Amino acid sequence: MTSETLVPFEDVLAAYDPALGLEVHVELNTATKMFCGCPAVFGGEPNTQVCPTCLGLPGAMPVVNGKAVESAIRIGLALNCDIAEWCRFARKNYFYPDMPKNFQTSQYDEPIAFNGYMDVTLPDEGGDGETFRVEIERAHMEEDTGKSTHVGGSTGRIHGADYSLVDYNRAGIPLIEIVTRPILGAGEKAPAVARAYVSQLRDLIVALGVSEARMDQGNLRADVNLSLSPKGSGTLGTRTETKNVNSFRSVERAVRFEMQRHAAILDAGQAIFQETRHWHEDTGITTAGRPKSDADDYRYFPEPDLVPVAPSREWVEELRGTLPENPVLRRARLQESWGYTDLEMRDVVAAGVMGEIEQTVAAGASPQAARKWWLSELSRRANDAGVEITDLGVTPAQVAAVQALVDAGTVNDKLARQVFDGLLAGEGTPEEIVEKRGLAVVSDEGALSAAVDKAIAENPDVADKIRDGKVAAAGALIGAVMKEMRGQADAGRVRELVLEKLT
């Protein structure tokens, strides 16, 4: 790892204007691959999701996955793009073992979607969030590559040299590549704009339901292009392309790092070398990759094995009708209707439970109760179990049913947690779990009254304090009663009884 000379960020801004460009690859969640019927799911045993087409065997013929085209159009529409009336796939020729055909089927000069934009809201620093328009040049369809594992030379069997092992399960999974136009004029906000763009793009993809969109699993991968030009020159400098930046935070850091690194090279009177760069998550730096090929080197030509895609305007309009509400507007609308503070809403969004809360509220729970269960109780359980909260197995309708039991006084919050235990163990509906586990609070006044009397008798000092007007001491007696009742009492009713008897 070479150490790079970096210019302080403020000094970069004093001398240069940054130009950003972002390329985001989205792996679609279709059931099958782009050009064949092999499953497109993640995590199968190596080379069990392959066929002659995705292995590039001679004579195999690709057929386009209609669902992937539909997803591509919906992404394009959500990004305010024009949708091509007629477009083709193209072969991008290169020789690398992760692409068994020796070309990637992609789109070249005829992308399915083009000329769009996304309004990105920057995190506010005190005031209202500032909006920055990112122009989208194109979104096109292509296919993912296989996965190589490199094996060290000492154990290598191929002529004693290093070699690679390739699993083609991922080869052919549908990808949509979304490319921005050069983003100019962001200045000091360039790193924040890059991060906010990728983050909001992910929200949009999730809202469309077209991809799992998990950056940590590579469903969504960002390449960061950056160049600097002398301040005010209005020209574009030579760019570098930092590949596979795999978190929002890293996108921001990579832009900042490349700005500082470019400035150091330019300040020294040297030229930027057009190349790809590798991002290192641990050290927060980039290192040189390969020289960037010219498009000519890929010898693109129209794919002769596939016929053109010509989406009818009726189909495009039908798909436009399926677009979800803009995530930024939706978030603002829900926050207002739920009455959450900015901080509460941020926690809800960060935990990824906004949709769950929306459905829970729709099923009858109050926004505050829905937030309480999803954010504290169920997030914690999902975290403990190491699963996504949506995979925990508790539905919004069940959460609303549990809260209804709390509202009806059948259980208290503590007993409700045991109802969730039962739900996770698959013991039936919340009502059935209360029945089977005997969780209902005791509403038998006689039993409660007796327990209160017992607590008073066993804690005469506390009882005296309450008689003297120190109502705050009641907590100790309530605790004793709850313990006696094994938690199955309505704490509010116990408090009333204690105060009735002693004041």
Partner 1 sequence: MPEISRDEVAHLATLARIDLSDAELDHLAPQLSVILESVASISEVAGPDVPPTSHPMPLTNVFREDVVQPSLTAEQALAMAPQAEEQRFAVPRILGDEQ
Helix (H) or strand (E) run with residue 272 in it: none
How far apart are alpha carbons 112 and 90 in whole angstroms?
12
The minimum distance between CB 99 and partner 1, in angstroms, equals 7
Q: Which is nearer to partner 1, 273 or 301 (CB)?
A: 301
Q: Which is nearer to partner 1, 103 or 197 (CB)?
A: 103
Q: Which of 92, 104, 3 is nearest to 299 (CA)?
A: 92
What count of other Cβ atoms lies within 10 Å of the Cβ of residue 325?
11
Terminal CA-CA length for the chain = 76
Q: Which is nearer to partner 1, 293 or 368 (CB)?
A: 293
The answer to whether 483 touches 462, Cβ cutoff 8 Å, is no
Q: Which is nearer to partner 1, 104 or 286 (CB)?
A: 104
Cα dihedral 483, 485, 488, 489, rounded to 10, equals: -100
The minimum distance between CB 310 and partner 1, in angstroms, equals 4
Residues that bind partner 1 in the complex, under the rule CB under 8 A: 30-32, 36-39, 45-52, 55, 57, 63-69, 86, 88, 93-99, 104, 145, 149-151, 157-159, 161-168, 289-290, 297, 299, 301-304, 306-311
Which long-range contacts does 454-459 make (Cβ < 8 Å, 24+ apart)?
Answer: 454/484, 455/480, 455/481, 455/484, 455/498, 456/498, 456/501, 456/502
How far apart are alpha carbons 321 and 317 in whole angstroms?
6
The minimum distance between CB 319 and partner 1, in angstroms, equals 14
Task: Identify any residues that bridge with 132 across adjacent strands, giving them in sequence order.
Answer: 120
Q: Which is nearer to partner 1, 76 or 311 (CB)?
A: 311
Both tokens of residue 229?
């030009």
How far apart are alpha carbons 415 and 403 in whole angstroms?
11
How far apart are alpha carbons 293 and 291 in whole angstroms?
6
The minimum distance between CB 279 and partner 1, in angstroms, equals 13
Q: Which is nearer to partner 1, 17 or 177 (CB)?
A: 177
The minimum distance between CB 238 and partner 1, in angstroms, equals 20
The minimum distance between CB 425 and partner 1, in angstroms, equals 32
Q: Which is nearer to partner 1, 66 or 129 (CB)?
A: 66
How far apart are alpha carbons 279 and 224 in whole angstroms?
10
The minimum distance between CB 31 and partner 1, in angstroms, equals 5
Q: Which is nearer to partner 1, 171 or 255 (CB)?
A: 171
What count of other Cβ atoms lies within 10 Å of the Cβ of residue 390?
13
- Which positions ≥6 away from 165 have C-beta within 8 Å? 148, 149, 151
Q: Which is nearer to partner 1, 244 or 395 (CB)?
A: 244
What count of other Cβ atoms lies within 10 Å of the Cβ of residue 177?
18
Q: Which is nearer to partner 1, 14 or 158 (CB)?
A: 158
The minimum distance between CB 289 and partner 1, in angstroms, equals 7
How far apart are alpha carbons 277 and 274 in whole angstroms?
10
Q: Which is nearer to partner 1, 33 or 372 (CB)?
A: 33
The minimum distance between CB 103 and partner 1, in angstroms, equals 11
- Which positions ≥6 away from 391 have C-beta within 8 Å? 382
How far apart are alpha carbons 139 and 180 in whole angstroms?
9
Tokens 């999730």 belong to residue: 206
How far apart are alpha carbons 259 and 366 in whole angstroms?
48
The minimum distance between CB 39 and partner 1, in angstroms, equals 5
Q: Which is nearer to partner 1, 51 or 184 (CB)?
A: 51
The minimum distance between CB 287 and partner 1, in angstroms, equals 12
The minimum distance between CB 84 and partner 1, in angstroms, equals 11
The minimum distance between CB 241 and partner 1, in angstroms, equals 12
Tokens 């092992």 belong to residue: 165
Both tokens of residue 157?
């069997």
How far apart are alpha carbons 492 and 414 in whole angstroms?
13
Both tokens of residue 500?
């009735």
Q: Which is nearer to partner 1, 208 or 334 (CB)?
A: 208
The answer to whether 132 touches 119, Cβ cutoff 8 Å, is yes
